[in-house]
Amino acid sequence: MTDSQPALVSVSALHAMLGEPRLVLLEVKMKPVGAGATAAPESPPERIPGARVFDLEGAFSDHAQSLPHMMPGPEQFEREARKLGIHRDSLVVVYDRVGLYSSPRAWWMFKAMGHERVAVLDGGLPAWLEAGHPTSRDAEPVERPGDFVAVPTGSAFCDAAAVERTLTDASRAVIDARSRGRFEGREPEPRAGLRQGHMPNAVNVPFTEVQVKGRLKSAEELRALFEETVGSRRKFVFSCGSGVTACVDALAATVAGYTDIQVYDGSWSEWGLPSDRPVIQTS
């Protein structure tokens, strides 16, 4: 996927943008799981002025599926985006309360729906607070619906069958964003009923390793990290626990200059279920 809008926005840049008529600022709401679970409270009183709530586990999930917060269809996404006052020409900036945790998922979802004018606030709310910028206690009201139109790309997300093919393709890499302990099967999964371990031939780039204190590492550092892990391969499928922090790695890969990227939406919440899909544990 190409990206005509820079993937990241700094706190200082966002502060200068506040009040622009085409800016729509979204706080991505999701209760942290696993490594991010204690990083920030779910609902502290502060939020960035003008922010509206992007409910990742509510309005922006496909509840017809049993897996957690799966990507909704284009009709649902379009309807809910319009309710947030998002227009076809809106510049959408997303952030979360942890730093870089759930906001890249929203960024990737907008890109999947064909909206390229979307960026992630580097460092999220913690970086905003650290800079001493003003906050608000209330979400921004939506005065009138937007005219957002979903135009699915069809390539941003993939299913388990596509992952199975990728695992045996020497030109592609499946990159798992879970912690090292979960990847190796030494730590339990936070969701009950899942097997421990990883997919055969998958490699591990924990989402915490592409950032420092909630801010993304530089493009040069990220490129070196991916090259160390995957060598010369430049086609990636990202996975994690439930398709959220995989998008942190997808953001990192985008900033590093990679363009052939997909996210496995079901991730370990699907692959790790009892089944005949192969699972490897590191001894």
Q: Are residues 124 and 164 in the same domain?
A: no
Per the structure, the count of domains in the chain is 2
Q: Tell me whether residue 29 is in a domain.
A: yes
> Is the model's pLDDT at 27 over the cut of 70?
yes
243: containing domain: 157-271
pLDDT class for 44, splitting at 50, 70, 90?
Answer: low
Q: Tell me whether residue 147 is in a domain.
A: no
> Is the model's pLDDT at 35 over the cut of 60?
no
Q: Are residues 31 and 69 in the same domain?
A: yes
State the pLDDT at residue 282: 79
> Is the model's pLDDT at 283 over the cut of 70?
no
Q: Are residues 190 and 245 in the same domain?
A: yes
Average confidence score pLDDT of the chain: 93
Average pLDDT over residues 8-30: 96
**pLDDT per residue as tens digits for the range 198-233:** 999 999 999 999 999 999 999 999 999 999 999 999
CA 206 to chain centre: 13
Q: Are residues 100 and 173 in the same domain?
A: no
Q: Tell me whether residue 278 is in a domain.
A: no
CA distance 34 to 43: 17
**Total-model pTM:** 0.95
Q: Tell me whether residue 25 is in a domain.
A: yes
> Is the model's pLDDT at 42 over the cut of 60?
no
State the pLDDT at residue 1: 37
| CATH number of the domain within which 98 lies | 3.40.250.10
Average pLDDT over residues 128-134: 95
> Is the model's pLDDT at 3 over the cut of 50?
no
Q: Tell me whether residue 177 is in a domain.
A: yes
pLDDT class for 138, splitting at 50, 70, 90?
Answer: confident
Average pLDDT over residues 132-158: 93
Catalytic residue among 84, 92, 240, 263: 240
Q: Tell me whether residue 235 is in a domain.
A: yes
Q: Are residues 121 and 27 in the same domain?
A: yes
Q: Are residues 227 and 126 in the same domain?
A: no
Q: Are residues 101 and 165 in the same domain?
A: no
Q: Is 158 a catalytic residue?
A: no
Q: Tell me whether residue 262 is in a domain.
A: yes
Q: Tell me whether residue 148 is in a domain.
A: no
